Chains A and B, each alone.
Chain A
């Protein structure tokens, strides 16, 4: 029987040769990621019911990434506990403030195509850009932490076929937002969004991770980009010697197939209060902004920072706009320092903070009532970044940088032509 890539991965993880869409199975994750916001609380909850050890501690990744550096006494205590418990519970991997979990585990060479990864954080699905199946479970990851497995209803597939060459100023963010425009939550729920088509081979692993990560925001089980030869090579270069190309069967059942013509795609922007409320940038150019942010697991990549730097080189951010830059991992930060990207951005007026999730969930650089930010982060719900009366727009680093220059939401293509 034909299976999607997600089905194949879940079949292996449940010790079966075939799993059928809709059936509930118990599957064993290969990796479980938990940030510091959750880890000590989860351990406490498990201890409260008498569970003091993990089924497979070597499969657990703990990362301090949400509040870096600590700026509260509660956070200081949480980090102390996290460091102590990471040692005493013998988790396999502990990262202390060196990056946001999802890009970090890929950078560290922990991920290969075909893996089943579960995480506490919503945007765990970014890891699906490598051809792994990565599903967020929130606090439910306590179940595989303790037992080694989790129940899951085998998901179906919504396929997004992307074809054509991306025009200048348009990229991975615009592809996934164009997909969210066409996939409502009714369609997405209990399905994995799988990306295919002749545009995909030209996308880097970080770009594919942007697509897979943001796919979760239409209510999907996960986003996944099947691994081609390029993905396998890129992961091998990170030390994953067994990384291989991996895809679903061509005749696996698909609930819905949608098409995106990359060649005619305009920059896309999510408007408040949902990442899935998407417009062409050209419809929004009258919106004034007070803040601009480039960072997060979705867009704090070296390529996004470099693209923003190329646009901002020799220019100044609009005097009424605060531009904040946060590389997603310390390694990206170092690379962007070494190649001059950060220098260029700071000369243009940007502020810089160390790698953290911070602003994405209102933990740093909060917004006041009436303020507007355009951001490369993941969500724009009311109150997400501080006041419930602030407005958050989401877009690519290029669109955010262009808007930071002009003080209003801006079509970057107009600046690229100058």
Chain B
């Protein structure tokens, strides 16, 4: 799977909670085509209709904190969005990987290099990020190979599908 994304930057503030990304009242819904309509519906209603595959969500600190719901990440996967964020907490980090959303974790200064609406090019395999609008480049640490494999399989379920036929391969422990 190609983990090179090119598109618009959707810049978010710090402290966007999981429930703000998709309200907890949608916990019963799992159809990604429905969930994508709810992503940031209250605070960035234009995202659902205007975002295109290859666009990047550039989030601040404590992104998707709070509820440990998969829903926002399923929506992001359905919309073809990649994620750049300040160091993620454990639940959103795992849920993004599981949903097949590629991500890079960045420091505060690096995140300031991207503004809402700017054009970006991101290679999640190598960590190379280009702000096309500003003509600036930045290298981030890519995900460990083991997690890139899961993202490249389209997420946890794809990884499950690819590996389940070979139970022997499941017994090894993976280090990062």
Residues of chain A touching chain B, judged by Cβ–Cβ distance below 8 Å, are 14, 23-26, 37-38, 41, 44-46, 48-51, 66-67, 74-75, 78, 122, 136-140, 142-143, 146-147, 149, 151, 153, 185, 188-190, 216-217, 219, 221, 273-274, 361-363, 366, 379, 381-384, 386, 388
Contacts and interface: CB of A to CB of B under 8 A. Distances in A.
Given A139-B70, A273-B17, A274-B66, A361 B25 contact: yes
Interface string B126-157: 00000000000000000000100000000011
A24 B174 contact: yes
Contact of B173 (A24, A46, A140): A24
B148 to A, nearest CB: 13
Contact of A140 (B25, B67, B95, B164): B95
A14 to B, nearest CB: 7
27 contacts: A24-B146, A37-B27, A38-B30, A41-B30, A44-B30, A46-B157, A49-B160, A51-B160, A51-B161, A78-B28, A138-B69, A138-B91, A140-B94, A140-B95, A143-B98, A147-B164, A151-B174, A185-B89, A189-B89, A219-B91, A274-B17, A361-B24, A379-B66, A381-B24, A383-B19, A384-B24, A388-B42
B125 interface: no
B175 A136 contact: no
A138 B66 contact: no
**For A26, A38, A139, A219, which residue has the most chain B Cβ atoms within 10 angstroms?**
A139
A47 to B, nearest CB: 11
Contacts of B42: 383, 388
B55 interface: no
Contacts of A122: 67-69
B176 interface: yes
Contacts of A147: 160, 164, 170
Contacts, number: 129
A45 B157 contact: yes
Given A190-B90, A361-B27, A384-B24, A138 B160 contact: no
Contacts of A362: 23-25
B37 to A, nearest CB: 16
Given A37-B28, A146-B164, A140 B175 contact: no
A224 to B, nearest CB: 15
A142 B160 CA distance: 9
A50 to B, nearest CB: 6
A386 B24 CA distance: 9
Nearest to B174: A24
Contact of B27 (A44, A66, A185, A383): A66
A137 B94 contact: yes
Contacts of B27: 37, 66, 361, 363
Nearest to A20: B175
Given A139-B70, A153-B90, A274-B17, 5 more contacts: A44-B30, A45-B30, A48-B157, A138-B70, A219-B65
Contacts of A37: 27-28
A137 B146 CA distance: 18
A329 B173 CA distance: 39
B18 interface: yes
A154 to B, nearest CB: 11
